[in-house]
Amino acid sequence: MVKRTAATALSALTGIGGHFLNGRADRAQLFLALFFLWPVVLIVALAVSRDGERIGVGGWTVGLIVLGFVATWLSSLVISFRDAGAAAPPKPPAGIAARFSALVLSLVVFGLLYYVAAMAISFAPVATGLWWRGESEVGDRAAEVRHSLSRENFWQYLYFGGMSGDDGELPAPPPGDGYLVGRIAFDERPAAGVSLDLTLNRKFRTPTLTTDDDGLFTLRLPPGDWFINRLRTTAWTGRPSQGEFVLSSERDAPLPELGGYHRRGVVGDQQGWPVTVTAQPVTNPLQFAIRQEVALEWPRGERPRVSLADATVKWRPYPEAAAYAVSIYEVERHAGGWTSREIATRQLRDATQLPLGSFKSTSGAKDREYAVHIAAFAADGRFLSETQRDAHFVLVDGVRIVDEDSAAQRLRAVEREFAARGASPARRLEHRKRLAAVEVLIDDGLLAEAERLLAKVDRTAAPGTKEALLGYLRARQGRCAEAKELFERAESAGGKACVADSWRAVCSGEQSERR
């Protein structure tokens, strides 16, 4: 009985150790191969997960993989127990040294197995080109996939401005006697056990902080004025077992200041969220809230193929929501992922569906792909929640969605967002936004609107940029002589980079004009 207990315990601990103790190296090799099978299955599952959709704990794919791994482990235990009590078992390793060697070898081999499994989860996004929101964030996406295998995962970002590039190598901020305190609530109750870190003043990144039973996190800093550039959460021990959740802050701009589309991040050159750190304990902490995501009913699944007239974006009514912002993105796929560009936005009051046919359209290529994002707002315009992932669909009837108001709307949104947050952007920044909007309007064939917006750009814009876009506009209007002259003036003022080759090609016949 002692031998059976030892063999079963070794297999329970390492998966294969009991077979070495029983002298059954053949069984150890068999179960080692079976254990290595499941990381391979996980890699394949991630590889066939289209559009980078997350594979969660509740998903049938991961459920089957976990079930297979547990079944292999239990089978190893049962066979180890049976072989140890066989009437004429194979001769086991002799002596203490041999038994110790069997234990060490099995631990090393099984440790290698777990390392391979972890690497498989970490690097599968690199191998399969998983992309999130059209931006390549392989490192963060890999970490998110790792965390998604735990119920406590809560991977959220809030950007407040001033960020430029990766903050992974930034040092910790200096310690001090001041208090920076924030409070995170869920369903109006404290959210305990939320793990997070902050990026401060564009040059510091805090160690991991965790909210206490009152939902508070506290950071000690030197007293003075600070800027929060980004808050990131990674885990939440009190997370409910069902549902997806969205983190928001008191800095989220309300609906009227956004012109339709809710942006978490701050657009422009702001330094971040200004906070004053004092040596006195804080009585009014920074406020954050966790809420359920907006539940989308259509589109769902693997990029449904529809015609413009027959499809309707639908979502479930959100508690307390009186208005929704529905944004449509045009998606371009390329090697390793996809990028997107917002082309249309609608604000809806007391409605939970929007026919695609309500958007303006023009002729275009078949099988053009789009994505949908929905944000929910309270009656006073306060942001409540949004969809966690942009849902995709494909138009098959050879049309392209356009919206002549979207570019000007984005411009107004940026300007109002600056005003709402107390910022004073430079006039050159305003012109950059106008010029970007003009290019979108010209691309969409909305030439009169583009000309009106371009007239608002004065000589304080970047040298040559206005002339270059005006040349593009004239080319699209068929006034090629004027376009050529404007392109030459643009290059003289700002260099050849001002004029895109595709703009020149409009008059040279290399690119067909889109109407």
pLDDT at position 418 is 46
Last residue of a domain, one of 93, 128, 163: 128
The strand ranges marked E within 282-390 are: 286-292, 296-298, 305-306, 312-315, 323-334, 337-349, 353-355, 360-363, 368-377, 383-386
Per-residue confidence (pLDDT) for residue 456, from 0 to 100? 79
Predicted pLDDT at 173: 96
User: Across the strands, what pairs with 248?
Assistant: 289
- Whole domain around residue 184: which residue ranges? 150-291
Q: Give the count of beta carbons closer than 10 Å to the beta carbon of residue 436.
A: 14
Query: Closest Cα partner for 260 from 156, 159, 344, 367?
Result: 344
- Per-residue pLDDT of 31-58, as tens digits, reads 877 777 777 776 666 555 443 344 443 3
Q: Which residue has the higher pLDDT, 442 or 166?
A: 442
Are 70 and 108 in the same domain? yes
pLDDT at 230 over 60: yes
User: What is the average per-residue pLDDT within 336-350?
Assistant: 83
Residue 125 has pLDDT above 50, yes or no: no
Q: What DSSP line would sit under 48-108, residue for residue? A: T-GGG----TTSHHHHHHHHHHHHHHHHHHHHHHHHHT-SSPPPPPPHHHHHHHHHHHHHH
Residue with the larger pLDDT of the pair 103 and 361: 361
Nearest to 154 by CA among 277, 240, 249, 216: 240
- What pLDDT does residue 47 have? 56
Asked if residue 415 belongs to a domain, the reply is no
DSSP code for 207: P
Is 145 part of any domain?
no
The answer to whether 36 touches 15, Cβ cutoff 8 Å, is: no
Residue 134 falls inside a structural domain = no
d(CA 53, CA 371): 13
Residue 501 lies in a domain: yes
Mean pLDDT of 193-208: 94
- Whether 140 is in a domain gets the answer no
Collapsed DSSP state (helix, strand, coil) of residue 194: strand
Q: Are 376 and 252 in contact (CB under 8 A)?
A: no
What would the mean pLDDT of 243-267 be, rounded to a whole number?
Answer: 70
391-418, pLDDT tens digit by residue? 999 999 988 888 655 544 555 555 554 4
Q: What are the pLDDT digits (tens) for 143-159?
A: 444 444 456 889 998 98
pLDDT mean over 324-338: 85
- DSSP lists the bridge partners of residue 321 as none
Q: What's the mean pLDDT in 354-375?
A: 90
* Range 188-216 average pLDDT: 95
261 and 331 together in one domain:
no
Contact between 129 and 337 (Cβ < 8 Å): yes
Residues 9 and 112 in one domain: yes
Residues 318, 444 within the same domain? no
Is residue 176 located within the same domain as residue 212?
yes
**Residue 511 reports pLDDT greater than 90:** no
Residues 222 and 311 in one domain: no
Regarding whether 262 and 160 lie in a shared domain, the answer is yes
444 and 384 in a common domain: no
Instruction: List Cα–Cα distances, 265 to 259, 261, 330, in angstroms.
Output: 15, 12, 20
Mean pLDDT of 334-357: 86
Q: Does 228 score more than 90 pLDDT? A: yes
- Count CB neighbours of 366 within 10 A: 10
Give the chain's count of helices (H) and strands (E): 12, 22
Tokens for 393, please give them: 């669909």
**Residues 337, 358 within the same domain:** yes
Burial class of residue 174 in the structure, from the number of CB atoms within 10 Å of its CB (0-12 exposed, 13-18 middle, 19+ buried): exposed
Please say whether the beta carbons of 28 and 20 come within 8 A.
Answer: yes
Interacting residues of 378 by C-beta distance below 8 A, sequence separation 6+: 320, 321, 322, 323, 384
Minimum mean pLDDT among 129-138, 224-233, 422-431, 454-463: which range? Answer: 129-138
**pLDDT over 70 at 123, yes or no:** no
Q: Is 117:35 a contact under the CB 8 Å cutoff?
A: no
Report yes or no on 412 lying in a domain.
no
Give the residues across from 395 on adjacent strands: 306, 368
Number of domains the chain contains: 4
> Taking a C-beta distance cutoff of 8 angstroms, is the pair 356, 311 a contact?
yes
Within this chain, do residues 26 and 82 fall inside the same structural domain, yes or no? yes
Placement of tokens 């669909």 in the chain: 393
CA 403 – CA 414 distance, rounded (Å):
18
308, 344 Cβ separation under 8 angstroms: no
Is the preceding omega at residue 171 within 30 degrees of 0, hence cis?
Answer: no
Report the candidate in 287, 246, 249, 281 with the shortest Cα–Cα distance to residue 265: 249
Question: Averaged over 234-263, what is the pLDDT?
Answer: 79
- Regarding whether 59 and 191 lie in a shared domain, the answer is no
> Of the residues 358, 378, 407, which one is the last residue of a structural domain?
407
Q: Give the domain-ending residue among 407, 442, 459.
A: 407
Q: Which two tokens stand for residue 44?
A: 């394949």
Average pLDDT over the chain reads 77
pLDDT at 323: 92
Q: Is the pLDDT of residue 321 over 90?
A: yes
Whole-angstrom distance between the N-terminal and C-terminal Cα of the chain? Answer: 84
Residues 361 and 454 in one domain: no
In the predicted model, what is the mean pLDDT of residues 300-320? 93
Per-residue pLDDT for 97 more than 90? no
Reported as a pLDDT band with limits 50, 70 and 90, residue 130 is: very low
Residues 409-462: tens digit of each pLDDT: 555 555 554 444 443 444 555 666 677 788 878 887 888 888 888 887 765 566
Residue 116 confidence class, pLDDT cut points 50, 70, 90: low
pLDDT over 60 (residue 59) = no
Higher pLDDT, 416 or 281: 281
Percentage of the chain beyond pLDDT 90 is 29
Structure tokens at 199: 């990026």
Residue of 301, 444, 308, 305 whose CA lies nearest to 367: 305
Q: Is residue 141 part of a domain?
A: no
pTM over 0.75: no
Instruction: Write down the pLDDT at residue 30.
Output: 80
pLDDT confidence of residue 226 = 95
Give the CATH number for residue 341: 2.60.40
Q: Is residue 287 part of a domain?
A: yes
Question: Look-up: residue for tokens 């959740």?
Answer: 245
pLDDT band for position 355 (cuts 50, 70, 90) = very high
* Cα 421–chain centre separation: 25
